[in-house]
Amino acid sequence: MFKRSTFNLIGGASCAALLLSGCANQLPQRSEHEERIERKLLEHSLQIEVGEPRVLELPQRRVRVHEQKSFEVTAFEVTRRYDRYTPYQPWRELYEIPLGALAVVGGIGANVLNVVLLGSLPDSATKDWISYGFAGLNPAMNVESNGRSQQNLASLEERRQDARTEYSSLPWVERPVRVKAGEQTFEMLTDRNGILRLNLLDSPFAEQDATRISTLLLSVEDDQGSARADASLMVSRTLRGKLQEAHDLIYDDLEDDDVAQWVHRVKRLSELGLEEEASELEQSLIELTRNDPELQQLFLKALTQDAGRLVAAPGND
């Protein structure tokens, strides 16, 4: 007798637990499709273009630096399938059971009417009402609800579609370049176009003994150390002989000199074959005399007569 009561108690508890936990109402499976692109780096290199000739005869040179990469690009079609269900909530049975009874009655009535109308009623009235009704009458299951449905990933499939090789060549924009000149090593930056502007008459080279700079060694390396490039430029003996004199002509104090000495500086730079530097000094002196029109005109006249240079008179604001 005691065992029978115990079994009845366990059975009743199990039924009650089943009733409270309920069952999830399974919904149609949902699929998602997308394309995934996978890029695999095949080769990474850096290139320094020092230009021609490889021996510097002039103090300025524009050096281009490029970063080159090749990738294997693979396209995959990805399909994800999800199992969807409506989770069980016992309190919803308070309204689902009465609504389910109404839906069953309505569905039966719709099927009877559908016979009279020769099957012209839609399935949503003849079948869906009855399905909804029986799900609502089931105390261990809620009716289907897309609004509060949940899902679990059931499967994931990837199908390879296409593979190709892509190449890129980009400038080394505002990145460091190490330059070794003589015994000193400097770190310089490229500009927004990946160009490094070398000028042996400008900092940091101007502070060195120019006669000791016979070779410029350039090197670049990416942050991860996976790519590196080196290049060199020779400095001709003729240029080394000009650099110290040219430096003095450009950087010695200008304001203490008279017009004749200014003209001599410009003319001498031109005679040394440093025409770009001569033009830059000429423009600096014109700007220096901007607020003294009389002195400026005197300087321009001397440039034309004594140095044989053709200079357009600037407009004064």
Counting as low any pLDDT under 70, the low residues of the chain are: 1-22, 24, 96, 119, 124-126, 306-317
Q: End of a domain among 154, 175, 210? A: 154
Cross-strand partners of 159: 77
The dihedrals phi and psi of 19, each to the nearest 5 degrees, come to: -65, -40
Q: How does pLDDT run across 131-141, given as a tens digit for each residue?
A: 777 777 777 77
Q: Tell me 92's DSSP state.
A: G
For the entire predicted model, the pTM comes to 0.65
Q: End of a domain among 154, 183, 214? A: 154
Residue 188, class by beta-carbon neighbours within 10 Å (0-12 exposed, 13-18 middle, 19+ buried)? middle
Q: Which region holds residue 233: left if phi is over 0, alpha if psi is between -120 and 50, else beta?
A: beta
Residue 305 in domain: yes
Helices (H), the chain: 2-21, 93-116, 123-126, 128-137, 237-251, 259-271, 275-288, 293-306
Q: How does pLDDT run across 42-67, given as a tens digit for each residue?
A: 999 999 999 999 999 999 999 999 99
Q: What is the C-alpha to C-alpha distance for residues 4 and 6, in angstroms, rounded to an integer? A: 5
**Residue 86 and residue 96 in contact, taking contact as beta carbons nearer than 8 Å:** no
Domain check: are 144 and 268 in the same one?
no
- Going by C-alpha positions, the residue among 178, 165, 189, 194 that lies closest to residue 69 is 165
Q: What is the C-alpha to C-alpha distance for residues 242 and 249, in angstroms, rounded to an integer? A: 11
Q: Give me the number of domains the chain comprises.
A: 2
Residue 32 in domain: yes
